[in-house]
A and B are shown apart, each in its own frame.
Chain A
Amino acid sequence: MDKQTKLSLEKTALKIRVGIIRGVHAAKSGHPGGSLSCADILTYLYFKEMNIDPQIPKKPDRDRFVLSKGHAAPALYATLAERGYFDKSELLSLRQTGSFLQGHPDMKHIPGVDMSTGSLGQGISAAVGMALSAKHFGDKYRVYAVLGDGEIEEGQVWEAAMFAANKGLSNLTAFVDLNGLQIDGTIEEVNSARPVDKKFEAFGWDVIEIDGHDFEQIEAAVEKAKYSDKPTAIIAKTTKGKGVSFMENKVNWHGTAPNDEQYEIAIKELKAALDELQ
């Protein structure tokens, strides 16, 4: 990845993080921690990787994306807005009555959302269904999904993992946003799925471990997955709340909105980081 591309992606990711904070602050509810942790992955997919067209959100040959950890909707919406699917001002209507920006992704009303998600464990199965459909009908698009590390406690995830490997769905790449925290505490305190890599390996997937905030590593993993004859799990080590100092690695920022004062600080930090890159 050349310097210019990397810099551009880093700037975009910061803008998306601003969008996340603005949306969640305006909604006075939502999930900032896990949205911030997967923001770089979404940035890479939507600004570098996927064959998509914001002007034709449903173009048939587009690559598909499923946010299996649907509660990170603010990250997806901020990404879609930044990419031009809808106006960024819409982010301020997040979770409000009358808004198309539902608390969790809604494919019927949000341009660019390929699958409705929110009930954990179901999105990855839907992504598997899309990958199966593509293989069966000879379509060339790839399917990407993002799972949470708490989400993979759901048994359905492993049903999906087993099936995807058994059917050789090499057109499927699933990220695990391994930020180490879930609502009730650290994943170790709750019901750890570690070792995550070994589990996916045992289920027949190719596994790549990366720093989920490093665009070069994200790119290398995404590219490698394209040459595998298996589905690929990219285990992305991330920081929950990434980019906002007081949210980083704090479990209570899983599902809490910043108050006005915290909002100002968060935006200031993100803008300062953006200025530094300019």
Chain B
Amino acid sequence: MADIKTVATRASYGEALVELGKQRNDFIVLDADLAAATQTGKFKAAFPDRFYDCGIAEQNMMSIAAGIAATGKRVFVSSFAMFAAGRAFEQIRNSICYPNLHVVIGATHAGISVGEDGATHQCLEDIALMRTLPNMTVINPADDTEAKKAIFAAIDHDGPVYMRFGRYAVPVIFGDDYKFQIGKASVLREGTDVSIIATGLMVSEALKAHQILKDEGIEARVINMATIKPIDKEAVLAAARETGAIVTAEEHSVIGGLGGAVSELVCEECPVPVIKLGVYDRFGYSGPAGKLLDEFGLRAKDIAEKAKSAINLKK
């Protein structure tokens, strides 16, 4: 097998901002003393006059972003997922989402794959937190290509957008011809026995799981759910109707994230078994990202196992 190119989506974030910066000068980028890590430092280096460091004060930064948006200007605001969605949750709720202001939150270092920094920095709750907020759009890109296209889409979106990026380099699975649209899922593999609905870095694992299952004679549909809110209802309900069983896969708590969103919809509109793969109501710990993904059961083989369990639950 040829070497697969891997890129961390935080790097995609930094590069896409620079690209955007070359095309237009109608936006500001904010960070909270993490520019090197979130990769907004690339934008800062290219456009120092259009970058503002708010220092280690994420709550103030979120409300500042709201104020900028309230003047009709565009703004990206960046920190780690933990400190964006977690620490500044209420500022996002009351300053940004309640007045429905167009602020794009670039939240990097999401999930267990933060690695060595350990539990305090491994945010496993952000999708759940952001998804509960009215007006919010939640996007969790699968790879470098999708991340960049999503950033380009987000700047001209109307209303708040939460974008979830990772620190860990993940396979690039989409080519330049890939079309991204906010709110639209993409079916990456067809199948009729079970559907795997994955988001973020779990999408490339889901593609591998498809092959594992295929080798066992199981045809699994693979759906990339990059936009978790608003969720693509049609894609989820078609999966439920046409395959009769669903596995969700996310690098996030199984409480309230993609699995929650899919379960809520399926329960109400087309009940079929849904098995959620994610982190099971626990904190992470320090270690290399790859090893953590193994130990937390966030790999293709784990998805394949859950897929078989979901099929067994079919009536």
How many chain A residues have a CB neighbour from B under 8 Å?
Answer: 35
Interface check B127, CB cutoff 8 A? no
| A235 CA to B284 CA, complexed, in Å | 47
> Contacts of B95 on A, CB cut-off 8 Å?
116, 119, 122, 125-126
Main secondary structure of the interface of A (DSSP, over half): helix
Instruction: Decide if A159 touches B59 in the complex (CB within 8 Å).
Output: yes
Please determine whether B52 and A167 come into contact, CB atoms closer than 8 angstroms. Answer: yes
A257 adjacent to chain B (CB < 8 Å): no
Within the complex, what minimum Cβ distance (angstroms) separates B214 from chain A? 51
Q: Quick check: is B116 within 8 A (CB to CB) of the other chain?
A: no
How many interface residues does chain B have, given as a range?
20 to 34
Tell me which of A127, A137, A155, A166 contacts B73 (CB under 8 A).
A137
Query: Interface SS of chain B: helix, strand, loop or mixed?
Result: helix
Residues of B within 8 A of A115 (CB): 66-67, 70, 99
Which of B52, B64, B68: most chain A Cβ within 10 A?
B64
Contact partner of A125 (CB less than 8 A), chosen from B52, B67, B69, B72, is: B67
- Residue A183 at the B interface, CB < 8 A? no
The answer to whether A156 has its CB under 8 Å from any CB of chain B is yes
The answer to the question of A132 belonging to the interface, with a C-beta cut-off of 8 Å to chain B, is yes
Residue numbers in A under 8 Å from B64 (CB-CB):
125-126, 128-129, 132, 160, 163
A116 touches B67 (CB 8 A): no
Which chain B residue shows the least CB distance to A113? B99
Q: Closest residue to A155 on the B side, CB-wise? A: B59
Neighbouring B residues of A195 by C-beta, 8 Å: none
CB of A114 within 8 Å of the partner chain: yes
The verdict on B174 contacting chain A, using a C-beta distance below 8 Å, is: no
- Which A-chain residue is minimally distant from B94 (CB atoms)? A119
Interface string of B86-114 (1 = CB under 8 A from A): 00001100110011100000000000000
- Say if the beta carbon of A108 comes within 8 Å of chain B: yes
Chain A residues contacting B71 (CB-CB under 8 Å) are 64, 129-130, 133-134, 137, 139
Q: How far is the CB of A114 from chain B (nearest CB, A)?
A: 7
CB of A267 within 8 A of chain B? no
Q: Which residues of A contact B66 (CB under 8 A)?
A: 115, 122, 125-126, 129
9 A-B contacts (beta carbon < 8 Å): A119-B95, A126-B64, A126-B66, A129-B64, A129-B65, A129-B66, A133-B71, A136-B28, A162-B55
Given contacts A115-B66, A125-B64, 11 further A-B contacts (CB under 8 A): A114-B70, A122-B94, A125-B63, A125-B66, A128-B63, A129-B70, A133-B71, A134-B71, A160-B64, A162-B55, A163-B55
